[in-house]
Every structure is written in structure tokens, then in C-alpha cells.
Amino acid sequence: MSTENAGDGTAAGQRRMPAEWERHKRAWMAWPTRGYTLGATAAEAKEARVAWASVANAVAGYEPLSMLVTPDEMAEARRRLSGDVELIEADFDDAWYRDTGPTFVLDNGVLAGVDWVFNGWGQQDWAQWELDARAALVALEASGARRIASPMVNEGGAIHTDGLGTVLATRSVQLDPLRNPGWTAEQVAAELARTLGARQVIWFERGLHRDAQRFGTKGHVDILATFCAPGRVLFHDQRDGAHPDAAVSAELRAVLESSADAGGKPLELVPLPAPATLRDAEGFVDYSYVNHFVVNGAVIACAFDDPHDQRAAGILADAYPGRVIVPVDARPIFARGGGIHCITQQEPAG
């Protein structure tokens, strides 16, 4: 694995972050191993393992999957995962590999990976990140991707792209003073251009209500909105005024209606209804069908045992024609602070 340092002046046009629906060589995940992700009791640990295994086995039915596993969890992972899943022994803190793993790009068609600075979602007091700060190196070394070092604190769940230079992001994440103190939106856009080939950044002010609370990410975009095709955006559409995310959805729609992609074309908006469920034992939920993972031939979709599950699956089927919609119960993952997209990461075929 070779490394390129930040500030090398590489032209943005040489790099491209492929869209998630483009062909993958494989997917990456990390097995829940300790702390709040695994839980404090045997029952909570089993729930986490079952949830992660359900996603992993669904993904492995459509494309190769490599899973980081700590030595003490290797036997448990082997027992619960399909034999098709490659297990890679590694040490890390949390199982949110979308955020701690590399963001893969193509550099003149050659695989590379952006190694962002990771600091526990903005130095959250409940997070540990000493090991996670190096977790991206595991996938970079195993894949043979060239490392692109970035000085910017960022996570994979904080960006989405159409593969053609348009990137979705939130000011509450990249401009978080506990992530990137003193950075401006222009500096963030320039770094996204250098690393991902971004030509247009569409900024949302904030994320969902619960994601802004103590155990959230402070506003990841991958539960807000995503491209499903060039020029088409799926967005979280909360219509129930009793939920604080109704205001967030209105803001999303307003930003998207006034935005254009990197080619200057207006966006086509596809509302993806929020689940009917408004609350759980902890308060207002951030359940979102936007947090799905597109794989080769399928979409691994969030399900919540909710009246809107079937309707959302139908919208996803229309958004990704020719792909099988595979619903997986995402409630145990959301209870730990994320969703299906948050625990997966794609490596493009190149």
C-alpha cells in the first residue's frame, strides 16, 4: 500500500468517488466487539450480533464481503456468519465501518482510498477512537488500494455522491468545531474536490433530531438523503408534525428544490416516507429508509416492523430498477446509533 499525503495538488478531475449503485468488487463491515455497540448484557450482545450478521449474510448473498473481527470474537463471528464472508482479524473500537473505514475512490481508474481523520464523531465523550483512528488501514492494505491521506475529520456516513461530482453533506458535521475547528465550507469543498473529485457540494444545515442528541453523529447525511441515479435524490419525508423531523424534512426539500447537480441540472426529488413509528423508549426515533445499502443486484433495506415498510420497499424498487429489495430489521442497529448503511462500506470494481 502506497500513501499520498494531503496537499499534493492532485487535480480533482483525476479522481472520482463512484456512486454506490455502480459495480462493487466487495463490501466491508466490522463485527460488534465491545462497548455500547455490543451492549452491557448477554442479551444485548446477542441482539447486536444477530443484527450485524443479518445484514452481513444478506450482503454476502449478492457480492463478496470482508468482515473485520477482533480475536476474541472470531469464534462467534464464524458461528453466525455465512461461510462466504471473509473474516479478517483486526483490533478496533466500534463496528461502524462506514465511518471508520476508508472512502474508496478511483484515481485514473486505479483503486485508492481516502483515509479521513476520525475523532469519535466530534470527540463525543462516550466514544473511543484510538484504535478506530487506524481502522481504515486494514481495508486499504487488504484491498491494495493506495492511501490518500486527508487532514479533514470526516466520516463515510457524512457524504453521499452521484458518482459524477455532486456531493451531499451537512454543515453540522464537516463544520463542527470539535471536528474541523476554523474550517470554512469553501475549505471543506476544496478538500472533497481533492480527495473525491467533488465539483458541487449541496449543503444541508443539520441532520435528524435524534442524531443531534448526545449519542448521535451530529447530523450524518446518510439518513437524510441519497442519490439513487444521476439527478435523482431520495430524501427522508417526515410529514407528521408531531415529530421534530417534520421541520428537517421541509428544510431538506427546500434545499434540494433550489439546488442543481455538478452538471448544472435541477434535481428530481423522490420523497421516501418516514416510518409511522414516532417514538421508542428513548424518545423520538430517527428511523429512516434512506439508510439502505445498494449492492450488486440488490438493495439491503431498513425495515422497522412498521406500516410504512412495504410502501418504502416499493419506492426503493422503483428507484433501483432491476435490483431485489431485501428488507432487514434495522431497529437493533438504530438503537445503537446508526443503520444498515452506517455499518457497511463499498469497494468499487474499478
* Calpha distance 292→340 (Å, rounded): 6
Maximal CA-CA distance, the chain: 53
Q: Scanning the structure block, which residue is given the C-alpha cell 480533482?
A: 12
- Scored b (16 or more CB within 10 A) or e, 98-131 reads bbbbbbbbbbeeebbbbbbbbbbbbebeebebeb
Sheet holding 85-89, edge to edge: 85-89, 65-69, 24-30, 345-348
Strand order in the sheet with 298-303: 293-295, 298-303, 324-329
Is 342 marked active-site?
Answer: yes
Q: For residues 137 and 154, give the distance between their C-alpha atoms in angstroms, rounded to a whole number.
A: 15
Strand partners of residue 327: 301
Catalytic residue chosen out of the listed positions 127, 223, 252, 342: 342
Host H or E run for residue 255: helix 245-257
C-beta of residue 154 within 8 angstroms of C-beta of residue 174:
yes
Q: Are strands 103-107 and 110-117 parallel, antiparallel or unpaired?
A: antiparallel
Kindly list the distances between the CA atom of residue 291 and the CA atoms of 43, 232, 330, in Å, as whole numbers in the listed order. Answer: 25, 16, 10
Q: In terms of Cα–Cα distance, which of 138, 113, 261, 108 is closest to 195?
A: 113
Helix (H, G, I), strand (E, B) or coil at 35: helix
Active-site residue list: 342
